[in-house]
A and B are shown apart, each in its own frame.
Chain A
């Protein structure tokens, strides 16, 4: 159960767009559409931002969008805001009926 691969950090200026990648294998990201993205502010519990690759829960701004191609899922944040500065994690269902998270990406708003 190796962790999914995410960049350690991504940064952008307010108003810009950034994309975080999440790379797995055919046994997880590439094989299923059960990919989720979570935002975690320091000292807080994670919060769901995207589920099943590209679906936004109610209450999540449409500035957040998800996509998948092959073994790589992506989270795009458009119109970057100061409050978007946080850690972001992807997760995926796996062939073993288990789940795996990415290592996390720290988003910095310059």
Chain B
């Protein structure tokens, strides 16, 4: 069965950096696009970024563009989210989520499986 396991969350000071990882199993990782979605405490879902099956296409929400970078290592079935210049408003549970398609050129079908999330708290 599809499994997505996020790690790397924790408490970090404003302005600092953090890298999240997402280990995938149960599907052919190198043929699907993967999203990052976050949810602030008590709030709704916010889409963060998507990366195509081969890493050639990446798109970001305006709120993180220029600060966050997503990448993938298909040899390790792992996705990454590098978060720089963190702000208090970045505090959230971060989910990695598999798309139904490969997301070539940015065109995806939508998320079908989600991980359990990892909590990132930005606080001084």
A69 at the interface (CB under 8 A from B): no
A1-B110 CB under 8 A given contacts A99-B47, A101-B44: no
Residues B112 and A3 in contact, CB atoms below 8 Å apart: no
Partner of B113, one of A34, A48, A104: A48
Question: Which range holds the interface residue count of chain A?
Answer: 20 to 34
A93-B108 CB under 8 A given contacts A45-B117, A47-B114: yes
Residues A51 and B44 in contact, CB atoms below 8 Å apart: no
Residues B117 and A57 in contact, CB atoms below 8 Å apart: no
Q: How far is the CB of B33 from chain A (nearest CB, A)?
A: 11
A102-B44 CB under 8 A given contacts A1-B61, A45-B95: yes
A61 at the interface (CB under 8 A from B): no
Q: How far is the CB of B90 from chain A (nearest CB, A)?
A: 16
A38, B39: Cα distance in complex, Å:
14
A38, B37: Cα distance in complex, Å:
13
A23 at the interface (CB under 8 A from B): no
Number of A-B residue pairs at CB separation under 8 A? 70
Number of interface residues of B (CB under 8 A): 28
Residues B112 and A100 in contact, CB atoms below 8 Å apart: no
A-facing mask of B20-48, CB < 8 A → 1, else 0? 00000000000000010100000011110
Residues facing A in B51-97 (CB within 8 A) are: 57, 59-63, 95
The main secondary structure of chain A at its interface with chain B is strand
A101-B46 CB under 8 A given contacts A34-B110, A45-B115: yes
Partner of A51, one of B50, B100, B105: B100
Residues B110 and A93 in contact, CB atoms below 8 Å apart: yes
Residues A91 and B110 in contact, CB atoms below 8 Å apart: yes
A34-B46 CB under 8 A given contacts A97-B59, A98-B60, A98-B61: no
A-B contact pairs, 15 of them (CB 8 A): A1-B63, A46-B111, A47-B114, A48-B111, A51-B109, A89-B44, A93-B108, A96-B59, A97-B57, A97-B105, A98-B50, A98-B59, A99-B47, A101-B44, A101-B46
Chain B residues within 8 Å of A, Cβ to Cβ? 35, 37, 44-47, 50, 57, 59-63, 95, 100, 105-117
